[in-house]
Structure 1
């Protein structure tokens, strides 16, 4: 694998990928989806993003292939696209705390289960960042 510093194309691709995650509402959605597949109404209730912003952010995540969808009658359910997305979101949650603990970051990066299997500590924005 080529290191980012060795390839401008690789650096550009990495930057574009990071832009998807670097939006507060999208990051909130992705964090919530660590718990598994959810309907649009579930995502709305949990994040409080509201329409039409939620629809716009979900469309951006779909377009970037970060989430996948499944239709259930009239409802559309969303889930993280794959394990690489799950790894990225879990690692960001571990890193982006007030005082990241390297051991917790490594544990998040290597954890194979879902966030629902881990205890949630804290509430609000701080809890979001400290889910691990």
Structure 2
């Protein structure tokens, strides 16, 4: 995710799509199961799933006539890291070091 994740954020910011993402946190579900859990009707649900799929926030798996959806955990982790401004691998390697500001009273931190 080299560029700002604007499209991904737009995709997840919609109330219906956000509800679908929350439901999929429990694990892989087929469209009928998502419909039942979310209360979103089939035509609207298919449209919302299409947007999430295009943004690569969900993954699909087909089994016979059923399509199963699951969260794309890697993509969502990248999105979270982009929002928080951290590179997960880099931040794990370097310790956070505080340096005193010149000209400012610095107090000892008791922990």
Asked if TM exceeds 0.5, the reply is yes
Structure with bigger RCO (C-alpha 8 Å, 6+ apart) = 2
Q: CA RMSD in A?
A: 2.1
Residue ranges of structure 1 left out of the alignment (5+ in a row) = 1-8, 90-132
Q: Highest CA radius of gyration, 1 or 2? A: 2
The structure 1 segments of at least 4 consecutive aligned residues displaced by more than 3 Å after TM superposition are: 86-89
Q: Deviations over 1:74-105 (max 9, x none)?
A: 1000001123426868xxxxxxxxxxxxxxxx
The question of whether the paired residues in 2 share the 8 Å contact of 1:33 and 1:80 is answered with: yes
Contact 1:80-1:86 at 8 Å conserved across structures: no
Matched, 1:52 2:43: yes
Q: How does 1:79-94 map to 2 (within 5 A)?
A: 79-85=70-76
Give TM-score scaled by structure 2 length: 0.63
Q: Which has the higher helix share?
A: 1
Gaps of 5+ in 2: 81-111
